[in-house]
Amino acid sequence: MNKIIATVLLAASLATADVCQDIYTNEDEFTGEITQRNPFDFTSSLNPIAIYKHIRGGSAVYSLILSVKGSDNYSRLKNVDVKFFDGTVYSFKNAEVNARYSDGWNYSTMITLTREQFSIFKSKNIQKYRLSIYSREVGPEESATFKGFVNCL
């Protein structure tokens, strides 16, 4: 099983150049600020992971957005954990998790990443993440594609 996962991750990593063409870029015509992001759709289970790059005054800020479906309405949730295929877990203890109803409960978080944290997402593949009490598995192909998007920024 590990050989299959490794093969899928390697193949998807080689396709990084292909995913770069899917990056959305927007320049604010008044401020000149540039925003780049990968395609996402938080209301379905398609692409519920996003990485944003916001360039203002020559300096870049990166944000990670994660979304997961839940069964009940909970408010004031905190704590986000991301598990990588190598077994390591990175925790954002104070990250707020927001709930929104759209054809079921959707929970999401937006985390501003430090350069060190951004480097982790550039070099590792996400296996699973948990937003407080709700978690979502990320398949090897989806994980490698997301890592490709991160490396495009």
Give the model's pLDDT for residue 84: 97
- pTM, two decimals, is 0.83
CA distance 146 to 31: 29
Give the model's pLDDT for residue 93: 95
106 CA to centre of own chain: 15
Q: Tell me which residue of 102, 89, 92, 86 sits closest to 66, measured CA to CA.
A: 92
Give the model's pLDDT for residue 57: 87
Q: Report the pLDDT averaged over residues 30-36.
A: 94
Neighbouring CB atoms inside 10 A of 115's CB total 8
User: Tokens 């020559």 appear where?
Assistant: 58
* pLDDT band for position 96 (cuts 50, 70, 90): very high
Sign of CA dihedral 44, 66, 86, 60: positive
Give the model's pLDDT for residue 2: 65
